[in-house]
Amino acid sequence: MIPRHAELADPIHFRSELASSRVLSLIANHFTSAQRAWGSLPLPSRVLGLRSELSVLVDSDAVDDSMDVSVLCAAALANAVDAALAAPKAMAKKSEQLLAFAQAVCESATGSAEAHEHLPDLTFLCERALHRLPSKDDAVRARCTGLLGAVISAFVRLGEDVPEETIERFQMALAPRLVDKSPAVRVEAIGAAEDLQDTEGVEDCGVISQLMYAAMHDASPLCRAAAVSALAVSRYTLPSIICRVRDTDAKVRTAALKVLKDKVDVRLMTDLERVVALRSGLTPRCPLTYAAASHMLCAGWLKSLGFSPINLLKLMDAGNNETVCELAIRAILAAPKTGALKKLSAAQKKAYDAAVSKPVELGDLAVESALLLRVKCEAIKEDDKLSESARAEQLENLIPDTPVICEAIQKHLGLHVASVRDANSSSSEEAGDSDDSFTVLQLLKLARLADFSDEAGRNQCLALLHNMLCSAITPDELVEACLRALGVAHRTETEYLERVHDVLNEVSDYDAEDEEMDANDAAFRQLRIVSVVGVVLEHTRRNLTDERIAQLQEQILPAIMSSDDLVREAGITCLGKYAMLGLEAAQEYKAVLLAAAANAEERTEIRAQALLAMSDLAMLYEGMLDDTECMDMMTEETTQVSLPGILTSLVDDGSGGMVVIAAEISAKLLTMGKIDSAAVLAKLLMVYFDPKFASSVSTSDGEDVSSGEVAASALRQLEADAEDATEVGSPIRLQQMLSLFFPAFCTIGQDRRDIMAASARQVLELHSKNWVAGKRGAKGGKKAAPKVADKPNMDKVLTFIANVGDVHGLVASEICFYIVEEHDQMDVTLTRDVVKCLSALVVETLDEAEVVRDMMDDVELVLEEKGSNKTTMNNLDRFRKRVEAYIAKKEQEKVAAEAKAQRQAEREAAKGVAAIELTDENEAEGAAVAAGEATAEKAGRAGGRRAARGKPLVESNV
């Protein structure tokens, strides 16, 4: 049990009158009863009870009148805190109870009208907490930090009564606790620091900087979540909070979303911040995060906007963020089913229903209303819980007739054309901004859900779509939507393909050699042709045996020879899709695609499309990785080119996103077993662990990526999160893919784990050569050697290889071989990291352990000759001892197993002898029994003869 009267330690001294037996008895009885009745009486009531009893005691003249209630209560609190902090671990629950009581006293002090009377309480508690704060015991530090947080909260709420020196003293006391080794202490310190933030000078406040750093970089998810919750919200700290919505731990993500709901006004956020928060939160991969994001969206943001989805979409720039806005609309529509509205009142739910179910009129259509209508209809179409009749009825109420949709498309397309013409005739760059193109896109998607049973409406729609595809005023981004609506409007795919050929013939009906033809018009026609063909090839269910599909190659080939970069890029993309429809086409156009990919003078986008096309072909058909004779378009010289060779060259010396694309394709080929190179895998590992890789492939060459400021780092992270990670060439996408690739690669089979183990030596060789991916720091045609801080940590890389592939023994032998053979290439840092990794490896088999043991003498000799430091030699000695202990253990197990087998054989032999003896005994016993039976039978016959002669059967022996 916790002691009732703990000795009061310095620097606090109480007056001698406190020794009154009645005062101490009252204090002791109060805490004893509080412990017994814990949970039955609220903490504030206990605080008031103690103060009331002490007041009665003072009024009764039982103690000196100079003693006031505040001092007596402070004495009680001091006794309680000392008892709690001195309690053993077995009494941890009682300690927490007393500390909670002390914190409740702090809270009652701030809520009292006579706040000045409670300053002695806070002063005594503050001194107690500060006195024990540097304790070596993690639990004591955590308790003291929590108590200090309660005191700080009470002091800060007293306002002007708190001296500036006191605040500085609190900050100095908490600074080391914010980086304490114990996560529990850091959590308490973060909570204590919440009230010490300077909301007026956020950029110069050290506490805010520490909390931002903890939110971004603390190793403990609990600490990151606490820091996010404690941060004062401002324009300066908001990026750090939003970035945590992408945290690896669900607790941190939900904490960040709760802050955005409760403390942040959505109208004061930027488009970028809203988009990142919703894109990261509304992910179906984590139900907990999705639920928190839906609650933030519906019960927070939408509620502050009068539950109007249109108002929300206006804040999110729907025209440029269609995907995220669609996620938000679907979450709003599903809110009654997901429980996102459960904390709203009945009136608020009614307002939600009215706002969400408000009909959309096509006569006054805007970007937001068009998107909302389209997503509503698609959600109903995809709802498998609705009956066919209910689904048809709801769609009929929402989707206008086909002629009405066609008229709306024509109207907004005309508005778009007028806007473009105004832009061409105006010197203002913003004069051409128009949302009508986006509105037309939504209407075209809506048309795919329309009822085409009316023949007149269907024909009107077909004619409109045909004209749009043939018209130069139709934006390229509408081509796919037009073709997909065209496919739905036709009854069969044959009719659809015939219509497509009619469109292509109409667009291509021009004389390419006509000198009077505008170059832009010719480029438009070629671009429109390959755009249409590309969409058809992507969505068709037919192959090259269909004559209509085979004829499409005639439309593609002129585009890849065009002088216009956009046309050539679209042509290469389209050619790749065509080649995927059959082996013959893949073999025919393989050289064309490889030549485009290998051409260093070609545009990056075109090379990227050629590479992606070749990677798809390599997945489908054999022989796509073989060397192929290609002709250089510039020099007309022929060379042997292969896809693996191009990928290796790009990973080594590529620029920008080409490095990312080459690395991604290499990972795919390794996964599918198309290539089995440990050298390629090693380069992917170096890319994955390269701390500067993401910034090195940035297209912003002038960006300063060396800033260490927390706020600047958070802002850059926010901008990176805003990037669409699904785009090919994105460093974020590559990092995400590699994090899944390495474990999956090793689970395929033992041959893949062997490749992973062999990559350890390749990684060491790359590190020794200062290899980095892509053109980084190139000067005079040569890449500059990276700084030590910018190179991957070999300890982490090698440990990752050993763990992810479960190949500790193979990695250990590779490291030993490398140290012995390449020690001249190893610097001090690499030697230290490699041996450190070696010391942590655990050899799995006896054969591997014996190989490593046999090399230990050579490794030790090499390290001694290099003059390795004591730490490195100790790590090597530790590893040697562990290997020898493992071998000894296995040998003992082998000897024990042989002895056991010997004993088992002896027991089996003994059992065999015993069985033989038992058989002999049984045979002898059987013979005796048989003899006895024969004698008895003979005696029986003799007795029968005597009876027949009248003689007695039994004769006396006497």
Q: Determine the pLDDT at residue 668.
A: 93
Distances (CA, A) of 730 to 97, 452, 659, 722: 53, 41, 10, 12
Contact 141, 185 (CB under 8 A): yes
* Cis amide prior to 11 (ω within 30 degrees): yes
At position 1, the amino acid (one-letter code) is M
* Bridge partners for 778 per DSSP: 783
Residue 146 has pLDDT above 60, yes or no: yes
pLDDT tens figures, 301-344: 999 999 999 999 999 988 888 999 999 999 999 999 888 898 89
Strand intervals (E) in 748-872: 778-779, 782-783
- Rounded-to-integer distance, Cα 208 and Cα 230, Å: 9
Number of Cβ atoms within 10 Å of the Cβ of 929: 10
Non-local (6+) Cβ contacts of 844 within 8 A are 806, 808, 809
Q: Which of the listed ranges 108-112, 317-321, 422-426, 781-785 does the model predict with the highest average pLDDT?
A: 317-321
Contact 434, 411 (CB under 8 A): no
pLDDT tens figures, 252-273: 999 999 999 999 999 989 888 8
- Rounded-to-integer distance, Cα 630 and Cα 638, Å: 5
Residue 589 has pLDDT above 60, yes or no: yes
pLDDT tens figures, 492-530: 999 999 999 999 999 987 554 554 545 677 788 889 999
- Give the residue with greater pLDDT, 428 vs 733: 733
- Give the residue with greater pLDDT, 591 vs 164: 591
pLDDT tens figures, 618-658: 999 999 999 888 876 556 678 889 999 999 999 888 877 88
Q: Determine the pLDDT at residue 14.
A: 35
- Burial profile 35-69: b = 16 or more Cβ within 10 angstroms, e = fewer: beeeeeeebeebbeebbebbeebbeeeebeeebeb
- Rounded-to-integer distance, Cα 501 and Cα 331, Å: 41
Q: Which helix (H) or strand (E) holds 638?
A: strand 638-641
Give pairs for 881-885: CB < 8 Å, separation 24+.
Answer: 882/842, 882/843, 883/843, 883/849, 883/852, 883/853, 883/856, 884/853
Return the percentage of the chain with pLDDT > 90, whole number: 30
Residue 125 token pair: 């508690």
Residue 80: pLDDT band (50, 70, 90) is low
